[in-house]
Amino acid sequence: MTGVAPHRQANTDGQDAMVDSRDIFKGLKVVDFSWVGVGPMAAQVFALYGAEVIRVESASRLDTFRNGQPLAPGTGPDRSAYWANVNRDKLGMTLNLRHPGAPDVVRRLVEHADVVTESFAPGFMHEIGMDYESLRKLNPKMIMISMSMEGQGGPHLGYKGFGLVLQATAGITGLTGWPNRPPVGTGVAYTDWFATHLAASAVICALEHRDRTGEGQYIDLSQLESTIWGLDDAIVRYSATGEVMTANGNRNERAVPHGVFRCAGEDRWCAISVLEDAQWDRLRTVMGYPAWARDPAFATFDGRQAREDEIEAGIAAWTAPLVAGEVAERLQAAGVPAYPVNDARDVQSDPQLAARGHFWQIEHPVIGPMTWDAPAYRLSGTPAYPQAPAPKLGQHNEYVYRDLLGYSEQEFVELMVQRVAE
Amino acid sequence: MSDGPLQAYRVIDLAGPYGMLGTRVMAGLGADVIRVEPPGGDPLRQRPPLDSAGVSTYWHQMTAGKKSVVIDLDSEAGRAAFWGLLESADVLFESGQRARLESLGFGWQQISRRCPDLVYTTISPFGLEGPRASWLGGDLVAMAAGGLMYLCGDPDRAPLRVSVEQASAQVGLQGMVGTLIALRARKVGARGQRVDVSMQEAISNTLGNSQQSFVMDGTIFQRAGGGRATGGADNRLVWACADGYVAWGRNPASMGLLHQWMLDEGVEPGFDAEAWAQRPVAGPGAPTREETQALDARIAAFFQRFPKMYLYEEGQGRGAMMCPVSTVTDLLANQQLNHRRFFHQVPQPGLPTPLTQPGAPFKMSVSPWSVGPSPQLGEHTSAVLTAHGAGAAGGGR
């Protein structure tokens, strides 16, 4: 496999690195038929920890992310940093699943696989003879996961969507907004991250079951159902109290003040939250103990909540001429939770994210230097490191078809000529 | 023992709201999750709102299927019992308790020496190291620091968080994934290790292509009300309808479908679908603001004639990516979710009627999802502590 040479890192516990992070899933073979966001991101978790992940793509019907912004200059399917950020450390192969010659390739891939992933519209895999019941006959120990909008089967079978609109069905959009305005949602394909983390967990759970019993299984992940887990206690609360939760701006039913305040400069803001009564006293001290804040009624949460408008107006007047970063530093120094609202530039230069090594830099053969985001977890004994940039379209075809699937050179050439392998 | 896929693992759960979702899902997946509470009970049992028996609805949501063991960590006997529990466990999963645990002798160094195979998952606002590791956090701060908040909200107002805690949820799920990877590492010869999870980073992971766009193009995505945050393209997604809102994106491919739908409903569309389908979204030939506003007014008037569930099902039936802006009651009435039996009615001791819980976040064909009530205070103290000879729990009952 081409790319960056592997480099073992000393673990942060100072012990001998007996186990490398890439040993964790070493030998695990993932055949990744998924596309766009969720499936590739879930499979990437296994690639980062050493699995052999074969990303199977169609050259005639490109993954829409391969044209996703931002694109490096030029032409061709290998310019998207969006695509490259969610497919690093994988092998790339092309295969036309609708070609009459495809079933033999699929058979070899499935026989080779421990895990098969897919995120097509429900029904497609069945249509091409690649549903779980068919594939398990080839390899009963294989684990298969489907990641669709609303699940396999049911009255909404085949409903279309993507994270930006599915977050509405899931209840997230309705809970994001100001009380007197239409809801807005998050501005990103937000359901993707529930589905991704849960899909990775699901596959590990299936591996646990297989270790114990030798048995493979099928996982039907509905991105809608995964995301409903992100609604706090909204479901239980309704059943216990009848309360229907609604969007409430930046306010918090248990903390006042709890808001985002305009600072000096264009569209600069600072988030400030008082989660305990003692933090209120610190906040007003940092503000210079203004007259409006001296009311002893504000010493308690109930007292503050009763006059939240007044408190927010007072804080906004204080922050307006100040620099957001300075507001946050002064408040944090005094023991009040606060942070500037980071935009994309701020995130890239954030000192904490930088110290954590949150962004990996790696050279991509077409894009050049690019930034990748690391997961939010750091394993002290087996620290993860990136190894290879995302593959160019079909980059590892020869290796996969010949070395992994056992086709002869002549057969491989024939698959290319017949346009099976594209 | 459960028959769920994580049945082999015992998790000691000291997580607060930041990340507690991780152990909740692990309990559903069959792990033996033991919530360790002080003699007076976990304060989260009283987090408002409360049910008719005076117990927090949040507590029910986040501890369903877990066990409750009362241990007084301020007593010698309690600390001994806690060591016994840790020695019996595979995972210690905490948030907000690290400093207290250290002060009581349960720092990572001591834990890893005495329980070398234990995975210690620790969730914090900014991670354990770095210049701001000691800064105070929370859901609002993580949404701001991680960069998602800047992409949420109306352009003329302050950036927004989501009114249900997203940094807490995201970090909980990532904490679960990191924990499961550390458990897999043990199978290839690794000992226990510390899994250090940052709320800020869990949010930074949700930024889609905005970081790559800034690094490559210098573009800073802006919040766009109910639309996709981008470098400035017009892409409204949220529309009012007769009884609420729907989410739907106008794009060249969707114009013909909408045009036909309007005709079928007896509404004069008033726009040329083919011309709109051929116009670029941005750049030369792109519609002016006045043109899109006029078009959007016609679309908005059409959607306002119908309720959201009609638009959802009729629109999807026609191939439109149309979604309702659901409330909780919409979710409970959603016929897809009900067909799949997503929600569970779970009897809760002390309450006259069952509580509704969300079901498996993914369906496994062989491995079952575990459903149960939230535990009574100390319900499992004697069973758990006597099972491995830890003796008295120092004030437990």
Contacts of A248 in chain B (CB under 8 A): 163
Contact (Cβ atoms closer than 8 angstroms) between residue A88 and residue A372: yes
pLDDT at A303 over 80: yes
Q: Does B228 touch chain A (CB under 8 A)?
A: yes
Cα B205 from Cα A200, distance rounded (Å): 15
A66 and A206 both lie in a single domain: yes
pLDDT at B286: 84
pLDDT at B189 over 90: yes
Name the nearest CA neighbour of A135 among A199, A216, A41: A216
Go through B183-218 and write b for each residue having 16 or more CB atoms within 10 A of its CB, e for each that does not. Answer: bbbbebebbbbbbbbbbbbbbbbbbbbbbbbbbbee
pLDDT at B389: 52
Inspect the interface and report whether the beta carbons of A167 and B180 lie closer than 8 Å.
no
A276 and A335 both lie in a single domain: yes
In a mutagenesis test of the A interface, which of B161, B213, B342 is the best target, namely the one with the most A β-carbons within 10 Å?
A: B161
Please say which residue of A297, A322, A344 terminates a domain: A344
Cα B22 from Cα B62, distance rounded (Å): 9
Report the gap between the CA of A91 and the closest CA in chain B (Å). 21
pLDDT at B120: 98
Q: Does A85 touch chain B (CB under 8 A)?
A: yes
Residue B65 neighbours by CB distance under 10 Å: 25
A329 and A379 both lie in a single domain: no
Read off the tokens for B89: 């466990």
pLDDT at A5: 36
**What pairing do the DSSP bridges indicate for beta strands B91-95 and B10-14?**
parallel
Reduce the secondary structure of chain B to three states and give it as a string.
CCCCCCCCCEEEEECCCCCHHHHHHHHHCCCEEEEEECCCCCHHHHCCCECCCCCEHHHHHHHCCCEEEECCCCCHHHHHHHHHHHHHCCEEEEECCHHHHHHCCCCHHHHHHHCCCCEEEEEECCCCCCCCCCCCCCHHHHHHHHCCHHHCECCCCCCCCCCCCHHHHHHHHHHHHHHHHHHHHHHCCCCCCEEEEEHHHHHHCCCCCHHHHHHHHCCCCECCECECCECCCCCECEEEECCEEEECCCCHHHHHHHHHHHHHCCCCCCCCHHHHHHCCCCCCCCCCHHHHHHHHHHHHHHHCCCCHHHHHHHHHHCCCCCEECCCHHHHHHCHHHHHCCCEEEECCCCCCCCEEEECCCCEECCCCCCCCCCCCCCCCHHHHHHHCCCCCCCCCC
CA A111 from centre of chain: 29
Contact (Cβ atoms closer than 8 angstroms) between residue B63 and residue B35: yes
**Burial, B293: exposed, middle or buried (Cβ in 10 Å; 0-12, 13-18, 19+)?**
exposed
Inspect the interface and report whether the beta carbons of A230 and B169 lie closer than 8 Å.
yes
Q: Establish if B100 belongs to a structural domain.
A: yes
pLDDT at B394 over 50: no
pLDDT at B37: 98
Q: Give chain B's domain count.
A: 1
In a mutagenesis test of the B interface, which of A131, A356, A363 is the best target, namely the one with the most B β-carbons within 10 Å?
A: A356
Element spanning A199, H or E:
helix A191-213
Report the gap between the CA of B48 and the closest CA in chain A (Å). 8
Q: Establish if B255 belongs to a structural domain.
A: no
Cα A332 from Cα A417, distance rounded (Å): 65
Residues 6+ apart with CB under 8 A from B160: A176, A177, A178, A184, A249, A250, A260, B149, B152, B153, B223
Q: Establish if A142 belongs to a structural domain.
A: yes
pLDDT at A10: 44
Average pLDDT over residues A151-168: 94
Q: Establish if B74 belongs to a structural domain.
A: yes
A264 and A213 both lie in a single domain: no
pLDDT at B122: 98
Report the gap between the CA of B397 and the closest CA in chain A (Å). 28
Residues 6+ apart with CB under 8 A from A224: A149, A150, A151, A166, A169, A170, A191, B336, B337
Q: Does A334 touch chain B (CB under 8 A)?
A: no
Q: Does A182 touch chain B (CB under 8 A)?
A: yes
Q: Establish if B115 belongs to a structural domain.
A: yes
Q: Give chain A's domain count.
A: 2
Tens-place pLDDT, residues A72-101: 999 999 999 999 999 999 999 999 999 999
- Report DSSP state, residue A57: E
Q: Does A324 touch chain B (CB under 8 A)?
A: no
Task: Output the average pLDDT for chain A.
Answer: 95
Helix (H, G, I), strand (E, B) or coil at A263: coil
pLDDT at A217 over 50: yes
Question: Model confidence at A158, in pLDDT bands (50, 70, 90)?
Answer: confident
pLDDT at B396 over 50: no
Tens-place pLDDT, residues A332-347: 999 999 999 999 999 9
Average pLDDT over residues B59-66: 98
| Percentage above 90 pLDDT, chain A | 94
Q: Does B382 touch chain A (CB under 8 A)?
A: no
Tens-place pLDDT, residues A400-418: 999 999 999 999 999 999 9
Inspect the interface and report whether the beta carbons of B193 and A379 lie closer than 8 Å.
yes
Question: Residue type for B351, please?
Answer: L
Contact (Cβ atoms closer than 8 angstroms) between residue B71 and residue B393: yes
pLDDT at B289: 85
Helix (H, G, I), strand (E, B) or coil at A366: coil
Cα B197 from Cα A296, distance rounded (Å): 39
Whether ipTM exceeds 0.90: yes
Contact (Cβ atoms closer than 8 angstroms) between residue B66 and residue B33: yes
Q: Establish if B253 belongs to a structural domain.
A: no
A97: alpha, beta or left? (left if phi > 0; alpha if psi -120 to 50): alpha
Inspect the interface and report whether the beta carbons of A219 and B326 lie closer than 8 Å.
no
**Burial, B290: exposed, middle or buried (Cβ in 10 Å; 0-12, 13-18, 19+)?**
exposed
Helix (H, G, I), strand (E, B) or coil at A354: helix
Please say which residue of A314, A344, A374 terminates a domain: A344
Element spanning A117, H or E:
strand A115-118
Contacts of A215 in chain B (CB under 8 A): 366
Cα A89 from Cα A244, distance rounded (Å): 44
Q: Establish if B332 belongs to a structural domain.
A: no
What CATH code is carried by the domain that includes residue B178? 3.40.50.10540
Q: Which residue has the higher pLDDT, A5 or B102?
A: B102
Q: Does A240 touch chain B (CB under 8 A)?
A: yes
Name the nearest CA neighbour of A254 among A230, A273, A279: A273
Please state whether the peptide bond connecting residue B49 to the residue before it is cis, i.e. omega within 30 degrees of 0: yes
Q: Which residue range forms the structural domain that includes residue A290?
A: 258-344
Report the gap between the CA of A418 and the closest CA in chain B (Å). 32
Q: Establish if A306 belongs to a structural domain.
A: yes
Cα A338 from Cα A283, distance rounded (Å): 10
What CATH code is carried by the domain that includes residue A266? 3.30.1540.10
What CATH code is carried by the domain that includes residue A214? 3.40.50.10540
Average pLDDT over residues B31-38: 98
Q: Which of B21, B335, B366 sits opposite A155 (nearest CB)?
A: B335
pLDDT at B250: 84
Task: Output the average pLDDT for chain B.
Answer: 94
Average pLDDT over residues B24-52: 98
pLDDT at B397: 34
Cα A224 from Cα A327, distance rounded (Å): 39
Residue with tokens 């039936």: B317
pLDDT at B292: 87
Residue with tokens 């995972």: B91
Q: B124 has which bridge partners?
A: B198
- Report DSSP state, residue A71: B
Q: Which residue range forms the structural domain that includes residue B47?
A: 10-206+370-387
Question: Model confidence at B232, in pLDDT bands (50, 70, 90)?
Answer: low
Q: Establish if A13 belongs to a structural domain.
A: no
Q: Establish if A252 belongs to a structural domain.
A: no
